[in-house]
Each structure stands twice: as structure tokens, then as C-alpha cells.
Amino acid sequence: MSEGKPRVYLFHGDDSRRRATALQKLRQGLGADDDAALDYVHLEGEKLTLPQLQDAVLTIPFFAKRRLVHLTHPLAFQKLKSKAGREAFLAVLESVPPSTALVLEVAEVLPEKHWLRKWADAHPEAVYQHAMPLPRDLRRWIMARAREEGGQFTPAAAAELAQRVGNDAVWALNEVHKLLAYVNYRRPVAVEDIHEVTPSVDHPDVFAMVDALALGQSERALRLLHQLLAQEDAPRLWGMVVRQFRLLILVHEALAEGLATKQEIARALGVHPYVAQKLMPQARRFQMSTLERIYRHLWEIDRAWKTGETELETALDMLAAAMGRR
């Protein structure tokens, strides 16, 4: 039944929502859409050993059509730093039987010359790969997503929303749903609707909260968080936290590449110079390895929230407390 199907699925890109949707569709198609199911196993690259991976992919399915092995952050696997380690890892990938679907989920777009993509290109009969980058033209993307949802945005409204959410596609999608419901799908969303429904990205209290998080000021972050939760939706605040640390990673990289002024960094990131100025001292506070570890932790919180394993408000509280002990 599974002959001819891909055995390895490479989902890579910084659009976490598209990655999650693709994974969920695959799980439903295989009958492994229950986290407690015997035919679904989740592995993490940081904690991975090759025997664990090999055992997982070679185990036969119990009830589902195929066994689904979901490996997040595969490139964090320590042995991949050496050529011998990469060859051993690829040997396991090549041993995946037709009865297993192995999903490699990478939270960044892999360049064409990356060793994992080159291997996938060389095995098209066994590997399905899909790049899922965040949109570069958010205005067009907003209009396209609105059409997919059965509604419309005027071009001016799409541009206004893109500006208001600070080029954050995850937050933009939440606002698209909210705004289409606001107009009841009966007319195109207009600029006036956005002024009524969507707050601006430079909401000072939101920035103060995420600034306190990034600076490790747990008591202040918790106080501001609770004030904001009394008037804002938790998913929107969560989107701002994720955005903040994504920008900190980008600023850290820009500083390492020699960009030194807020104007240079603002142009490179597509943000306002004021935002770049606030991010620069925060980025210098962290080692890149620490930022990457925090971002992976945010990814795990996002997964746990979306699968019902935790309440988002509780996760935000725990994150604020933990940042002070970093």
C-alpha cells in the first residue's frame, strides 16, 4: 500500500504555521493524528542518538497505514558536525522502509547547496521536500490569504495591516481571520476596519513587556504581562514574544556581519530604525547559541499550546519566570 510513497519528508522554512499544517495533514492521511498513538513518535535533534532514530524508523506500524516519525531540529544533532556523522545520519535516512514516514522539520529555509538538500535532490523517489519561508511581500500575501479564506482586502487595507503587524506573517494571519469575521465576509476589509480592530505593532506596553523578557527582568515582565492579558488576547502577545526573539537572532547575525548603525540594521531587517535601536543592546546581551536555544524552546511551547498540552497564559508566565534565571 505504501510502495511508491515518499519515505522521508523534509519540511523546512521559518513559516511555523505552514509547517504545522503540512505535518497535520500528513498525520491525518496516515491515521497517526493522535499524540498518544502507537504509530506516532516525536524525536528532538538535540537529544537524538542514531540507535534511537534507527529503532523508531524500523518499527512496524501497529494500527495506522504507516508509522510516522517526527524529528524536530534534526540539524541540532551533535554528530552532524563531522562528515562521518553526517554520512551515518544519511545512511539511516536511506534505510527508512516504505512502512514509515520520517518527517524532518527544520525551522529555517535551507539553501540549495546545503548537504541535506543535496541529498534530498539526489533521492527524489524517496524524499519529498517542501520549503516554507515566510512571505517577503506581506501585502500581497495578506490579499492572497484573504481570498483563500473566502474574503477580500482592499490593497490599501492590506498595506496598512502589513505595516501595523511589523511584517510578522503569523500575527498577520490571525488578524486576517479576525478582520474577515468583523466584516462578516460580506465586503472587502478597508483601512478603517483595521484602525478599529488591529492595534499597531508599536503598542508601548507590548514592547515594554517583550523588552523586559529579553532583558531578564522577570518581575517587571510578569507585571506587564498580566496587565496586558486583561485587555489583549494571549495569542497576539505570544506572537509578539516570538517575533522579538526572531528579530534578536537576526540583529545578532547583522552585528556579527559588521552592520553597526541602527539605520543599516533597520534596512537589513525591514524594521523602523527606532525598533532596531532598541534591539541592538538586547542582542548584544545574548550569545547566539543562547538565542537559538530560547527560540527552540519557544517552538516547543508553540507546539504544546497548539496541540492542547498546555495553556498559553501558563506558558507565558513560566517563560517570564525562566528568563530571569537564564
pLDDT of residue 36: 44
Helices (H), the chain: 16-30, 50-58, 83-94, 115-121, 138-148, 155-164, 169-182, 191-197, 204-214, 218-229, 234-256, 262-269, 273-285, 288-306, 312-324
Decide if 260 is inside a domain: yes
Structural domain ending residue among the three candidates 131, 157, 181: 131
201 touches 231 (CB < 8 A): no
Structural domain ending residue among the three candidates 197, 220, 241: 197
Decide if 247 is inside a domain: yes
Number of domain units in the chain: 3
Distances (CA, A) of 282 to 185, 188, 285, 286: 41, 40, 5, 7
pLDDT of residue 1: 36
Count Cα atoms within 13 angstroms, Cβ side, for 233: 10
Decide if 210 is inside a domain: yes
pLDDT of residue 58: 94
Residues 190 and 214 grouped into a single domain: no
- Express each pLDDT in 34-64 by its tens digit: 544 568 899 988 888 999 999 999 998 888 7
- Express each pLDDT in 241-252 by its tens digit: 888 888 889 999
Low-confidence ranges of the chain (pLDDT < 70): 1-3, 31-38, 166-168, 170, 199-207, 272-274, 323-326
CA distance 111 to 90: 18
Residues 260 and 188 grouped into a single domain: no
Q: Kindly give the interhelix angle for 312-324 and 204-214, rounded to the nearest 10 degrees.
A: 50
What's the grid cell of residue 235? 495569542
pLDDT of residue 242: 84
Q: What is the pTM of this model?
A: 0.53
CA distance 16 to 19: 5
Residues 118 and 232 grouped into a single domain: no
CA distance 152 to 7: 39
14 touches 43 (CB < 8 A): no
pLDDT of residue 100: 94
pLDDT of residue 237: 78
**Cross-strand partners of 42:** 70
114 touches 75 (CB < 8 A): no
106: left (phi over 0), alpha (psi -120 to 50) or beta: beta
Q: Kindly give the interhelix angle for 234-256 and 218-229, rounded to the nearest 10 degrees.
A: 140
Residues 185 and 270 grouped into a single domain: no
Domain that holds residue 144: 138-197
**CA 7 from centre of chain:** 24
pLDDT of residue 200: 64
Amino acid at 42: H
We report the CATH number of the domain holding residue 179 as: 1.10.8.60
